[in-house]
Amino acid sequence: MGGQTPEGYDATNELTYILLKSKREFPLNYPDLAARIHTRSPKRYLREVALTIKSGEGFPKLLNDEDVVPLLLSKGAKFDEALDYSVSGCAECRMPNRDTYTSPNAYINFAAALEMVMYNGRMLKYGDEVLGLETGEFEDFQSFDDLFAAFLRQQNNLLKHAFIQQHEIIRLRAEHFATPLGSMLQKLCRESCIDLHQPKIPGGIDLGYLEYMGFATVIDSLAAIKKLVFEEHVISLHELKEACEHDFEGYEVIRQLLRNAPAYGNDDPYADEIGKILDRTAQEFTAKYSEQIGVHMDIRLVPFTSHVPFGKVVSATPDGRRAFTPLSDGSSAAQGADHEGPTAILLSNYLTKNFDHNEHAGRLLNIKLSPGCVAGREGTEKLVEFIETWRDLKLWHVQFNVMNNETLREAQKHPELYRNLIVRIAGYSAFFTELSKDLQDELISRNEQEAF
């Protein structure tokens, strides 16, 4: 709902407000509800969106025309097509008669790449099997720049193999599968009498992507190494590796040092600059090889809930994260690492994003607010102002949970009393008591923001 018409006018109408009111009065986890926001979105619309968010079911999720539309234009869409995009999935956008990308894409565990730097191409869960590049013994790095360069090599190696995998998926899918009904419903396929699964559709636009998993986990780990090992010399690489190998059992002092190092999500240039380099390096790699091998892939930070199972293969990390626990979620701060309020989270997102590249395809941002933070008319206006700030920073997506952790803990203990409790998970909402305990714990572990 919301957004703009193909002619460029605001698309909000009375049906928009009926939908929002209906979502507040009949709290159901499905169907989902997404709101497109732009610079001319009416104040009434923004207030009604804020009121619906405050009801606490996680609706609606917000997508930002000020970021989405320029991306679609850069990919070759006409202006009217870009303005008329549809929200799809968790944080995706589609132009049903122009974009033709159907093959599934790779999720890449970059926290695993960090572990491969620590154990010379290996991971503790898999023993002596070499999984990545052998970049040398962790204790032998003489500078942070050398260690960072080793991580970027591991990162690019994973990206390279993801491109190879995707090339083969596209080639093989076209040889073995057909979708006659889907092709019949797609305008470009009808015009060319070609199946939608073919690698190239005349006039089609590829909106493929690679998923960057563990963004904040990697940033915070690298920031802690830079600060504590190479600048302040508080701990050595040997001590850090030993603490991580033992999952910090007997090394709680080191873990607390790591947990209090500069972290993404706090508007701290020290950590955010590392994130900007990670983002830029990945974008440059994808831009180069998309052109070379003809498989267009952008970088995204939209994990759905995959950051939970992906964490189950990664041992303890240098940000103080325990072994085999969830990685950071999308472009959100790592669980418990954001201490400067929700506006700082927005600014870290802004400061790590490279606007001089077009090789990005979305960032999913979860923010948890306490009910007291948005209470009353004043709370509504603050939430509206926060949404306007997010919009003006040209960030892709944001969604909210408005509830306190105590409620979630009580729902874990007494699920029979909280069967109607709805929470926002990834790009969808679900009944809290129906989630796995891993997902419940991950949601509880996110910081509850008390004030804007």
What length does the chain have?
Answer: 452
- Check residue 435 and report its DSSP letter: S
The C-alpha R_g of the chain, in whole angstroms, comes to 22
Q: Residue 61 in 3-state DSSP?
A: strand
The SS3 call for residue 260 is coil
* Catalytically annotated residue among 57, 81, 92, 359: 92
Whose CA is closest to 181, among 191, 190, 172? 190
Cα–Cα nearest to 71, from 328, 351, 399, 397: 397
Q: Find out whether 330 and 363 touch, Cβ atoms under 8 Å.
A: yes
β-pair partners for 367: 400
Catalytic residue among 57, 81, 90, 373: 90
Q: How far is CA 281 from the centre of its chain?
A: 17
Which residues in 28-100 belong to E strands, given as ranges?
34-37, 61-64, 86-88, 92-94
Inter-residue contact 311 to 328 (CB < 8 Å): no
Q: At what angle do helices 110-118 and 144-176 cross, to 10 degrees?
A: 130
Active site residue 231: no
Backbone angles phi, psi at 360, to 5 degrees: -125, 150
Residue 296 DSSP symbol? -
Is 92 noted as a catalytic residue in this protein?
A: yes
Between the CA of residue 279 and those of 85, 346, 347, 354, 444, what are the distances in Å?
A: 25, 16, 15, 7, 28
Q: How far apart are CA 84 and CA 94, in angstroms?
A: 9
The amino acid at 149: A
Q: Is residue 202 a contact partner of residue 98, using CB atoms and an 8 Å limit?
A: no
Which residues belong to the active site?
A: 90, 92
